[in-house]
Amino acid sequence: MRLFIEIAWNSLAKHGEELCGDCVRVAKTPQSFVVVLSDGLGSGVKANIMATLTAEIAASMFQRGASVEEVISTLVATLPECSVRKLAYATFAVLLVQRGRDAYLVEYDTPPLILIREGKIWDVPRVEREVEGRKIHEAHFLLQEGDYMVMVSDGYVHAGVGGLYRLGWGWQNIAVSVRRWAQTAGDAHSLARALSNTALRLYNGKPGDDSTAVVMRVRRTVVANVWTGPPADRSQDEAAVAKLMNSRGAKVICGGTTAQIAARVLGQELRVDWVPPSKRKDGATRTRGTPPTARLDGVDLVTEGILTLGQTVSLLEHAQTASDVPPGEDAASRLARILLSADEIHFLVGTAINPNQVADVIRGESMRMLYVKELARQLEQRNKSVTLETI
């Protein structure tokens, strides 16, 4: 069973500043995952620049396999030190996960990582040591399905000072809030928003410090497979159907001809889900202009091709997560939710050109391929792994 780390973060800039002095960077490879939260000293432009440089250097070096000594040595040599307070211009926390389970945590002058496991606040055993004159804390531990991890900058710990919390929200109170929320089994994006909203309320809408929370949730990897378009060679019809049906995860077919090929190869009848408006139940409407869906046993969603792909592109332009997609059971909304709910998406694109769509070929590429590439681009922007195969 492969595990996936779902991640989301929200940042609040100090009141009166346009830029947040915290920075988050995420780097992924097929075998590793690195997240860095850096907190720049002070606030505003200077803090933002220092935090960004620190996060970029740390993320890229840890991703390449550098040791903590090499990373800190590079940061010390690259970044200046505050001449007045004799402090580094940016602190950081790094979580490196390899092979989906092996976690290595490094914290330099940041609030400790919050780990919620099996409904409890877990104490991550840390070792303190000095590197290049900097005191750091390190930890090695194994991730489990259902773990929630949260990194916060100092602004969260100090939220509410002199108000609801005399000394600020505090690490322990934040951890208790995360534990309670984790009991709902919600996603990382929802928890990040909830923490950000709470911090903003504690600051009475005017954050006294840059405040960032990075939320990670460990769960099973969700996979989606989308086949759209007939193969250029009709002899490959059975191979295309086999690729889809033997794949792991959700299975989607986009395209009327594509669906007919699948039905023929599978020996099934293609059943179109179209109900006259007069006979639809309340709420069973679909977006105006969206073609109906169809059904095939073993396939999660069967839709029309070009129109549905284009409408899905438009939906993804305004949605970061599946919960952002407007409610509706039309083809485009359902496809958008499947794509945004998945961590790994594989597109199988047939390259046969429909004679009726020759005029739609742009710079040698069909509209189908252009839409698929745009979907892939938008999904990759959301840290999803996307592969594209032609047939």
- Looking at residue 83, its pLDDT comes to 57
CATH code of the domain in which 306 resides: 3.40.50
Q: What is the pLDDT of residues 9-51, one digit of tens each?
A: 999 999 999 999 999 999 988 888 999 999 998 899 999 999 9
Whether residues 175 and 240 share a domain: the answer is no
Whether residues 193 and 281 share a domain: the answer is no
Give the lowest-confidence range in 103-117, 188-202, 256-270, 345-359: 345-359
pLDDT at 331 over 70: yes
Rounded mean pLDDT, 261-270:
97
Q: What is the pLDDT of residues 124-159, one digit of tens each?
A: 999 999 998 889 999 999 999 999 999 999 999 999
Beta-strand ranges (E) seen in 190-317 are 211-220, 223-228, 250-254, 271-273, 293-295, 301-303
Q: What is the pLDDT of residues 215-246, one digit of tens each?
A: 999 999 999 999 999 999 999 999 999 999 99
Contacts (Cβ under 8 Å, ≥6 apart) of 132: 69, 72, 73, 76
Asked if residue 201 lies in contact with residue 208, where contact means CB atoms within 8 angstroms, the answer is no
- Looking at residue 28, its pLDDT comes to 86
Rounded mean pLDDT, 199-223:
96
- Helical H runs in 18-170? 44-63, 68-78, 154-157
- Looking at residue 364, its pLDDT comes to 58
- Please state, in angstroms and as integers, the Cα–Cα distance from residue 55 to each residue in 5, 149, 167, 278, following that order: 19, 19, 29, 57
- Looking at residue 274, its pLDDT comes to 73
118: amino acid identity, one letter: E
Which among 28, 32, 9 has a CA at the least distance from the CA of 143?
A: 32
- Looking at residue 41, its pLDDT comes to 87
Whether residues 216 and 245 share a domain: the answer is no
- Looking at residue 275, its pLDDT comes to 61
Whether residues 235 and 210 share a domain: the answer is no
Whether residues 158 and 255 share a domain: the answer is no
Last residue of a domain, one of 168, 203, 220: 220
If one counts the domains in the chain, the total is 2
Whether residues 212 and 246 share a domain: the answer is no
Whether residues 205 and 247 share a domain: the answer is no
Last residue of a domain, one of 220, 254, 270: 220
**Residue 103 CB neighbour total at 10 angstroms:** 23
The domain containing residue 326 runs over which residues? 223-390
Q: What is the pLDDT of residues 279-320, one digit of tens each?
A: 555 554 455 667 899 999 999 999 999 999 999 999 999 999
Whether residues 198 and 65 share a domain: the answer is yes
CATH code of the domain in which 140 resides: 3.60.40.10
Whether residues 304 and 369 share a domain: the answer is yes
Whether residues 245 and 206 share a domain: the answer is no
- Looking at residue 314, its pLDDT comes to 97
Structure token digits, residue 369: 């391929």
Whether residues 254 and 362 share a domain: the answer is yes
- Looking at residue 114, its pLDDT comes to 99
* Percentage of residues in the chain having pLDDT higher than 70: 91
Whether residues 71 and 176 share a domain: the answer is yes
pLDDT at 336 over 80: yes
Last residue of a domain, one of 220, 250, 278: 220
Overall pTM > 0.95: no
